[in-house]
Structure 1
Amino acid sequence: MDRAAEMVRLRFVSDGAAQMLTYTTKAAEARAYIADNSSAVPFLSAEASARDMTVAALAHEVMAMVEQWTMIGSRIEGRRMGAKAALGTASNLAEIAVAIGIDWSDVTAA
């Protein structure tokens, strides 16, 4: 279940712990910048410069992506945890098969 959920997640984000840390840092910087545009935002500043755009435009782009990921990621997590709960209460092979047979189709179509 965990591996299946991760494979679905990887349809939307890049693989790797360091990349996840980068996404998290950029989201925090975007929130800080939108709240106070004098905030230090080294990740956003570097990317905005590389892409020849303003930090403000990038901050809003990052937040839009965060909102999209929240919608997708929460569905994945809900399915994953629901399957784990069903597996924990399964009492026979048929119930186990149902528990691990997660339907991701509406998530991957997003």
Structure 2
Amino acid sequence: MTLSDLPNSRSVVVDGNTLDLADASSKPRCRRAICSKSFSGLSLKKDLTPIRAAAASKVDAEAEATQGLYVTLGAGQAMKYIEKERQAQMVTEDPNVNPALVPMVAIDAERYGDSLLDAAAVILTMAQYWRVIGPVIEDRRMSAKDRIAAATTPAEIEAAAIVDWSIAQ
């Protein structure tokens, strides 16, 4: 709607304020004192908090999915990995250790037809592999979240949430 679409009135009431339309080429003038009041409490700035939260959640979910390419996810699974590594270390210290003392390594050895020492070597190799990849994923995740926190517009937040999760192998 333009001013020419308005009825042949010289004024219009908007939010309780009468605006003079006599001179449509200039800003309408207010006939009430309220128009001269300051609106310093009014902020046209968009609240970026929910946008930042959504972007950070997206980054966290993508990081978790990327980790899932290398390890089985879950807190219980993480504890199993720690215990398997501990048991594998015991086998490397004493290759003749009683299999009952290293049940997780013994299970892998039996499952794959390996010796305890060979199963322990695989477990320790995978643990070392994770020590290389895990920090790369974590660095990318936290760097993206830092960029999201520093962004000042929705477009900047969206751009900050784009992460290259590919890892050279």
TM range (shorter): 0.7 to 0.9
**When the two structures are superposed, what TM-score results if normalisation uses the length of structure 1?**
0.82
Count how many residue pairs are aligned between Structure 1 and Structure 2: 108
Choose between structure 1 and 2: higher strand proportion: 2
State the match for 2:144 in structure 1.
83
Q: Higher mean Cα deviation, 87-96 or 56-65?
A: 87-96
- Larger of the two Rg values belongs to structure: 2
Offset of residue 12 of structure 1: 1.7
How many percent of aligned residue pairs carry the same amino acid?
32
Uncovered stretches (5+) of structure 1, i.e. residues with no partner = none
The amino acid across from 1:97 in the alignment is E
Q: Secondary structure at the match of 1:104?
A: coil
Which structure shows the higher helix fraction?
A: 1
The Cα offsets for residues 81-102 of structure 1, whole Å up to 9 and x where unpaired, read as 1111122222222321222111
Q: Deviations over 1:20-55 (max 9, x none)?
A: 222221112112322344473121122212322211
Cα root mean square deviation, aligned: 2.0
After the TM superposition, list the runs of 4 or more consecutive aligned residues in structure 1 that deviate by more than 4 angstroms. Answer: none
- Greater relative contact order structure (CA < 8 Å, 6+ sep): 1
TM-score after normalising by structure 2: 0.56
